[in-house]
């Protein structure tokens, strides 16, 4: 009987481990005042529910200082792993290093960290996305014109990479001049205000690339108010619902689609995988070769 009870106890313990019921994962997001990151959070929570793990969500509200405090709190709570979407790729290094010293593995999602030990980074190819946006805008303009680039939070890897890709595309079109590059911090209200000011200085522009849809949507409001919607092509990034609607209405020329739900879903899956096996499995597609 004792042996039977011991066997049952071991089975229960193994089952609990297999379904991850003991794992607590911290998810530190740059902001939940952006539908993109709300969708990312939802993907993470849905995957957590499937795996039976707990995800503790912290909203940094676009404040590097608050994000550092949030991660310190997660470390104090003894979470098993931290997933972080940095507000600033440089500023987040301190938090990543604190987690490293505490023996807590870190995964970054959407935006990377400039330092510290990160076991995995889950993101779109932002350089390729910026290049895609630039090529599309250039084709719309027939290779000639004046454009403005609305930049995101300058300290983020996403802003740097999207800007790099866009610059690479523009380099192929000597007939297009980027007359201004200015940050609007990935924020719709700032996108509106910055675009209002830029239109005063550059009323003859032909196109706008905004490094995310929130800024693009704000810019469109400024362009509409100036009566220039039929003269300026706007390309955004993220494909949030409001942006897709704007494309369908003909107000936005295009938006580069990411998959935030899948990012959140995959980040929790890889966190669980690492906690279970101390490794991360990265499958490569197979290809059948026939005669």
Q: CA-to-CA distance for 3 and 57, rounded, in angstroms? A: 42
Indicate if the pLDDT at residue 254 is higher than 90: yes
CATH superfamily of 126-257: Response regulator (3.40.50.2300)
Which H helix or E strand runs over 262? Answer: helix 260-277
10-123+261-277 under CATH 3.40.50.2300, yes or no: yes
Q: Residues 123, 109: contact at Cβ < 8 Å?
A: yes
Q: Residues 181, 213: contact at Cβ < 8 Å?
A: no
Average pLDDT over residues 50-58: 97
Average pLDDT over residues 54-63: 97
**pLDDT of res. 288:** 78
Q: What is the pLDDT of residues 126-166, one digit of tens each?
A: 999 999 999 999 999 999 999 999 999 998 999 999 999 99
**6 confidence band (pLDDT: 50, 70, 90):** very low
Q: Residues 48, 20: contact at Cβ < 8 Å?
A: no
- Write 102-105 long-range contacts (CB < 8 A, 24+): 102/75, 104/75, 104/79, 104/80, 105/81, 105/271, 105/274, 105/275
Phi, then psi, of 60 in degrees rounded to 5: -80, -10
Indicate if the pLDDT at residue 54 is higher than 90: yes
Average pLDDT over residues 50-64: 97
Q: Residues 110, 158: contact at Cβ < 8 Å?
A: yes
**210 confidence band (pLDDT: 50, 70, 90):** very high
**21 confidence band (pLDDT: 50, 70, 90):** low
Indicate if the pLDDT at residue 19 is higher than 60: no
**pLDDT of res. 17:** 41
- Give Cβ neighbours of residue 90 (< 8 Å, ≥ 6 apart): 114, 155
User: Quick one: tokens of 158?
Assistant: 């996403």
Q: How is the chain split into domains, by residue range? A: 10-123+261-277, 126-257
User: Quick one: tokens of 54?
Assistant: 């707990």
What is the CB neighbour count within 10 angstroms for residue 270?
21
Average pLDDT, the chain: 92
Nearest by Cα to 29 from 92, 90, 97: 92
Site of tokens 């539908």: 35
Q: CA-to-CA distance for 116 and 122, rounded, in angstroms? A: 16
What is the CB neighbour count within 10 angstroms for residue 142?
11
Fold agreement (10-123+261-277, 126-257): yes
């Amino acid at each position: 009987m004792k042996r039977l009870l011991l066997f049952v106890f071991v089975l229960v313990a193994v089952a609990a481990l297999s379904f991850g019921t003991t794992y607590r994962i911290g998810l530190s997001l740059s902001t939940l005042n952006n539908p993109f990151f709300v969708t990312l959070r939802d993907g993470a929570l849905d995957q957590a529910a499937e795996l039976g793990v707990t995800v503790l969500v912290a909203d940094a509200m676009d404040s590097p200082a608050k994000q550092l405090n949030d991660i310190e709190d997660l470390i104090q709570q003894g979470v098993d792993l931290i997933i972080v979407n940095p507000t600033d790729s440089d500023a987040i290094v301190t938090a990543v290093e604190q987690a490293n010293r505490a023996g807590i593995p870190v995964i970054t999602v959407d935006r990377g960290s400039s330092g510290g030990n990160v076991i995995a980074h889950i993101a779109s190819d932002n350089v390729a996305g910026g290049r895609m946006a630039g090529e599309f805008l250039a084709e719309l303009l027939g290779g000639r014109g004046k454009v403005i680039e609305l930049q995101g939070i300058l300290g983020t890897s996403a802003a740097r990479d999207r800007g790099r890709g866009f610059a690479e595309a523009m380099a192929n079109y000597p007939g297009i001049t980027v007359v201004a590059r200015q940050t609007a911090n990935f924020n719709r209200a700032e996108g509106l205000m910055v675009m209002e000011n830029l239109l005063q200085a550059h009323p003859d522009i032909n196109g706008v690339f905004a490094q995310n849809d929130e800024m693009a949507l704000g810019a469109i409001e400024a362009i509409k108010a100036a009566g220039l919607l039929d003269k300026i092509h706007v390309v955004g990034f993220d494909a949030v619902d409001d942006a897709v609607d704007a494309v369908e209405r003909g107000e936005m020329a295009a938006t580069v689609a990411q998959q935030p739900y899948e990012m959140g879903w995959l980040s929790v899956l890889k966190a669980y995988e690492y906690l279970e096996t101390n490794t991360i499995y990265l499958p490569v597609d197979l290809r059948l070769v026939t005669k």
